[in-house]
Structure 1
């Protein structure tokens, strides 16, 4: 049984211009102890996926539907008080995007770290000791609990937020752009820390990033999102060696490599509006295959593609939502 199973997840927001379909039918599974990297352009729904799993969506949400199973138990429709008491922080925790700015500048690090546990009934003295232990586990001195955020460097603040997330030893840790706004050396140190914590604490990660090269360091599987949908998902080996979806191919083609000299390319156009997305495949207005193959006219621009199962190299499931694969499996 997978640790996490997401089935047909939808999350819509009410805006002044209409209903924004931030997530529209996303499904995947994640095994315990593995890392799923979620990649895609800005506006593809990556951070919304994290918010849906942790149930911290904005107030203007108009629809939350689907199912999310954690260790076999459905948590998306669980009563909020029970989810807060039993699931959030204890089984699922998140390191938010721009987490260096997530700390309150006028409250000590210790006070901020113990608050979630104190609200769950843990005595403050015990919570403070857990906070010190957690700081120590990410390579920070125990006395950081007495400091204010402005007294810490960017890398130290990032480590503090990671320490907050692992305090209650959750099974699943969601990392939303955990190394953004950090210099290269600090970024490398944080990645090494995440690898060490995963091995030592037996954590399962959902790693959200724009950086495909960074994702390759940590990922067992890769999910590519586009316009609120899952375009492709498979093992990291399959995705990097033989990307199947035209969008994934475009992303990989834009990434330089160290050992080969290749011509870099880009994906023309921009992510479509999630209020009025294109009919059929949402990528078809930017897809080079659709533009050059008359047989795809009236198909890609009319009918939404299901997730076709491809023949993987590694033995793991490899799925791509593209009409190119309706009569065949394997790569293009």
Structure 2
């Protein structure tokens, strides 16, 4: 099953999206559009490069979009679909209401349709756009994207609950969720590494600062100095407009710094800190922290 379900982002790990695509019985290849739309890569890159100048954190937004898409029905772009009649689509579910970057995907889709009408799937566009946006600050592609995904026609908000890991998830629920997708603890830790880029609204973690057990206390597993810094950035009650870096000082650089801060007890979410509470996930964190090349290897070899 595992070999049938892997790439994203979250996370983003690339292995995760490929596994999901295979589970959808889709045969992916590096030259899927070689004859039907040979400029697809170039079109996506040009638009992303233009957009990234105005929106430097676009990579985090698009890789999150890809993860939220892939972890529900597989990588089928169902997260892009709108609500029809009284059937609420995935994007209407609370975890997806903070997704952004839909306008970028729309712009790319429009440009590709002009070049090759009705050929390239939106699911492939999301995969390419996420890769190029994350890679933009490196001036090179960090991983290959195989193409050939097909778009789905079903999008249900009711399927989000229980399919996406939440910021307050403990290690048991995280492992169970990933196991249901055919993924193991190593996949969980690698995917969590996508938190090395991007920002979060205060509400996703403020309970750790002000009322962790319901008694007005802070989460004792969170570094005290870091907790105080976060309280200064996120006053109580949490403002929906204030954001902080998920990886302090490194929120635009896609590398293994996330594991450094995790081992310093500075993981922003409960789900981050949870990775240190299991023997196997803790070992994976240490391995990836000690070897930047190990994290890069996961990207280069989906």
TM-score (norm 1): 0.26
Higher Cα Rg, which structure: 1
* Greater fraction of residues in helix: 2
* Greater fraction of residues in strand: 1
